[in-house]
Each structure stands twice: as C-alpha cells, then as structure tokens.
C-alpha cells in the first residue's frame, strides 16, 4: 500500500465510529423488533455490513442487510436492491453510505425508498462533507468535515485495515 499522509480516520477510529453509529441506530430504533440496514454499493455496503455486525452484538433487533446499487454517473437509472420492496415495506430502514459529498447518491437512494411506506427512515455515513448540492442530511455520522471542493475523501475497506483520507 502506498503511504498516505492525509489520513482523516485510521482503522481504530473507524471501528469506534461504526460502533457509536450502531448504538445511535439502536437507540433510535429501540422500540422496533427488526431493522433494515441498506448500504449503497460498494463502500456504503461494506460500512452497512460492519454496522449490522455491531447491531447484532449489542441489540436484540433482527437485522436484515440490503445492498443498494445506484448508477453513480447517472443516478436517474433504476436503482436495484438485494431484497424486495415487500421485505422493507412498513419497516424501520437506515440507508448507509461511506461519504456524503454532494448528496446526489444519497438523495436518489432516499427517493427510491420513499416509493413504499416505511415505518421509520434514517441515513448514516462515515464521513459527512459540507459541500452538498441537495438538501439531504445524515442522521448518523462518524465525522463531519469542512474541506475544499477540490479535496476528495476516500474510504478504503481492506481485510487488515480501513482508512479514510483526503486526496
């Protein structure tokens, strides 16, 4: 791996943020028996898997994981989910992505899930940037950053290490 000098979060910090987000999700949904954790492919789904693992450890909630596939270059294209609409209808759902940049991916994900009635709907991101072009917010976030528009936040999920850094 190349040396990265602009690390925002290291593996330990990311694990702590994921654990805190999972506790916040549980607190917000403590009256529920089940919850859908829907992660936007690819990194959002990796993050969703990690959140789901912690939720299963800390709560009695039945956790159903859902992979959400959005064409990030043309988000108007149909969105695919790994579970059917009937499986998440009238349930509590948290839409997860790794970084909230402009808000484009998250807003189209939100739009997709609002096509069916949900019991409760929240969003979660590891890194929240303050350069949104859409009025979307993260209900649960690991860290908020004010960066320049030219800077890009990258999150790398590897087997032995997970880091977030600026490029």
Nearest C-alpha neighbor of 121 from the set 28, 48, 23, 59:
28
| pLDDT tens digit at each of 167 positions of the chain | 456 779 999 999 999 999 999 999 999 999 999 999 999 999 999 999 999 999 999 999 999 999 999 998 898 899 999 999 999 999 999 999 999 988 889 999 999 999 999 999 999 999 998 777 788 889 999 999 988 778 889 999 998 899 999 98
Q: Does domain 7-166 have CATH number 3.40.50.2020?
A: yes
Q: Residue ranges per domain, the chain?
A: 7-166
| DSSP element (H, E) containing 153 | strand 153-157
Residues 98 and 155: their CA atoms lie apart, in Å, by 7
Residues 26 and 148: their CA atoms lie apart, in Å, by 33
Task: State CA 44 to chain mean position distance.
Answer: 5
Structural tokens at position 153: 């936040």
């Amino acid at each position: 791996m190349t040396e990265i000098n602009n690390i925002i979060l290291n593996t330990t910090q990311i694990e702590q943020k994921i654990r805190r987000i999972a506790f916040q999700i549980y607190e917000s949904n403590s009256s529920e028996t089940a919850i859908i954790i829907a992660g936007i492919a690819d990194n959002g789904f990796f993050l969703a898997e990690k959140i789901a693992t912690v939720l299963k450890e800390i709560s009695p909630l039945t956790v159903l994981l859902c992979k959400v596939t959005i064409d990030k270059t043309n988000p108007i294209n149909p969105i695919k989910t790994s579970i059917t609409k009937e499986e998440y209808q009238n349930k509590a759902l948290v839409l997860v992505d790794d970084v909230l940049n402009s808000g484009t991916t998250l807003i189209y994900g939100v739009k997709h899930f609002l096509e069916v009635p949900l019991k409760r709907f929240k969003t979660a991101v590891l890194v929240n940037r303050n350069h949104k072009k859409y009025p979307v917010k993260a209900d649960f976030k690991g860290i908020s950053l004010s960066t320049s528009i030219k800077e890009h936040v990258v999150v790398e999920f590897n087997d032995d290490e997970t880091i977030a850094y600026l490029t």
